[in-house]
Amino acid sequence: MFLNDKFKFNERNTTLSTEILAGITTFVSMSYIIIVNPSVLNKTGMDFHGVFVATILASIVGTLIMGLIANYPIAIAPGMGMNAYFAFVIVLGMGIPWQSALGSVFIASVIFLLLSLTGFRQSLIEAIPISLKAGISGGIGLFIAFIGMQNAHLVVASPATIITLGNFSEPVAYMSILGLIVTIILLVNDVPAAIFLGMLITAIVSFCLGYIPLPHSILSLPTGLDATFMHLDIAGAFSPNLFAIIFTFFLVTLFDTTGTMIGVASQAGLMKNGHFPNVKSALLADAVASTIGSIFGTSPTSSYVESGTGVAAGGRTGFTAVVVAFLFFCMLFFAPVAQVLASAPAITSPALIIVGFLMMGNLNQVNWTDIEESLPAFFVLFWMPLSYSITNGVGAGLILYPLIKIFRGKYRQVHPLLYVFLVLFVIQFIMMNH
């Protein structure tokens, strides 16, 4: 009776058993992040076990708020794309300490948290044209797929052509291809949790061939959080070359979270006359999770599109999210297994490639016949992977779009905030080259 009143089972035409099944479905579909996120951030020098625990704790906090307060069947965890940006661009590419990068995540998350309580958040979302939003999503998808291809040794550096095909006779390469093919087969046949199952099958084959060892144990108490907890450098994040990074973290998290929430809520039939009920609580769930995550030691969180698998299984209330949070908690004790799986690029790389592909789905929202809309989206799309920076891609689009409108005599069609972004990114690009 209490659960029915709390989560409105009858009102949303669902049952306790259906919600439990939906929660299990969502968790299995997105559980790859437990392995992939520590694997990615570990490359920056962050402790694997610390990031593993931080990933799960941030996911639990955000998903519980989403379930208990917002009452939506949406799960939250560190976002793919943002973790790659954190590791490969900010820390490894720019040489910024991971502590300062965490400080940037914290500042961006606090800004997101504050703006989620105001109407400015909606103004900012409406200021960015849909073509640029789609271009940003697609560009991040290309970027993380490219990183997956590199980790898999399917593409390698070349002095003649910058990049070229890797040596497919290497174990990492051909095992990655195997994992990719298995995942694609599962995906096109609509098998639930295709990415996770693809990783699991690749791991089993890798073990049988002697490429990965068995874990020394299956279960262990959570350890390592002391290596990442409260290690963020907020003062260091205020250096001039990190302002654009803070802005990018904020902007991408805002669009990714909002877009996913609206998509999943629409799928579940929870939108009311085109409006998102209780939107502030939903956005606060992600903002709080990102803030807490930066303190624990992980990159920004996001609402997961895999929540749609739980909705497809019948999930309609926040109890689905509560079940997901509980299963995340259970995974705290499986760190030895996660570390072995994460140690093999052939296991995690196909997940990066496939998630990158899925993120490009929004490109159908770009009107490619309208050059004023499509050209800025195109620059965003290709500049991210080629410049190895999400910030550069976002900046290119936010500079080019208002300039095109100005030279077409349509400057009144551009939201005033875009002119602010234009100036900020021009200054950022000038500072980067001095």
Average pLDDT of the residues in 17-36: 91
Q: Which pLDDT value is given to residue 274? A: 58
Tell me, yes or no, whether 76 lies in a domain: yes
Tell me, yes or no, whether 195 lies in a domain: no
Tell me, yes or no, whether 184 lies in a domain: no
Q: How confident is the model at residue 283 (pLDDT cuts 50, 70, 90)?
A: confident
Tell me, yes or no, whether 81 lies in a domain: yes
Q: Which of 28-32, 305-309, 346-350, 382-386 has the lowest mean pLDDT?
A: 305-309
Hey, what are 119's tokens?
Answer: 């109407």
pTM of the model: 0.84
Average pLDDT of the residues in 124-148: 84
State the total domains in the chain. Answer: 1
In angstroms and rounded to an integer, the radius of gyration of the C-alpha atoms of the chain is: 21
* 207-236 pLDDT per residue, tens: 999 888 888 888 898 999 999 999 999 998
Tell me, yes or no, whether 423 lies in a domain: yes
Domain holding 387, by residue range, is: 11-131+217-344+367-432
Q: Which pLDDT value is given to residue 121? A: 67
Hey, what are 317's tokens?
Answer: 């209330």
Tell me, yes or no, whether 392 lies in a domain: yes
Q: Which pLDDT value is given to residue 389? A: 80
Residue 79 CB partners (closer than 8 Å, separation 6+): 253, 256, 299, 300, 301, 302
Q: Are 266 and 316 in contact (CB under 8 A)?
A: no
Q: Which of 166-170, 180-184, 273-277 has the lowest mean pLDDT?
A: 273-277
Average pLDDT of the residues in 298-302: 94
Residue 433 confidence (pLDDT) above 60:
no
**Four-CA torsion 348, 351, 352, 356, nearest 10 degrees:** 180
* 42-98 pLDDT per residue, tens: 999 999 999 999 999 999 999 999 999 999 999 999 998 889 999 998 999 889 999
Tell me, yes or no, whether 230 lies in a domain: yes
Q: Which pLDDT value is given to residue 241? A: 72
Q: Which pLDDT value is given to residue 395? A: 87
Residues 381 and 146: their CA atoms lie apart, in Å, by 13
Most confident of 24-33, 64-73, 126-135, 270-279: 64-73
Q: Which of 307-311, 319-323, 412-416 has the lowest mean pLDDT?
A: 307-311
Q: Which of 63-67, 185-189, 386-390, 399-403 has the lowest mean pLDDT?
A: 386-390
Q: Are 253 and 394 in contact (CB under 8 A)?
A: no
Q: Which pLDDT value is given to residue 37? A: 96
Residues 253 and 419: their CA atoms lie apart, in Å, by 21
Residue 175 CB partners (closer than 8 Å, separation 6+): 202, 205, 206, 209, 211, 344, 346
Tell me, yes or no, whether 211 lies in a domain: no
* 157-166 pLDDT per residue, tens: 888 888 899 9
Q: Which pLDDT value is given to residue 275? A: 64
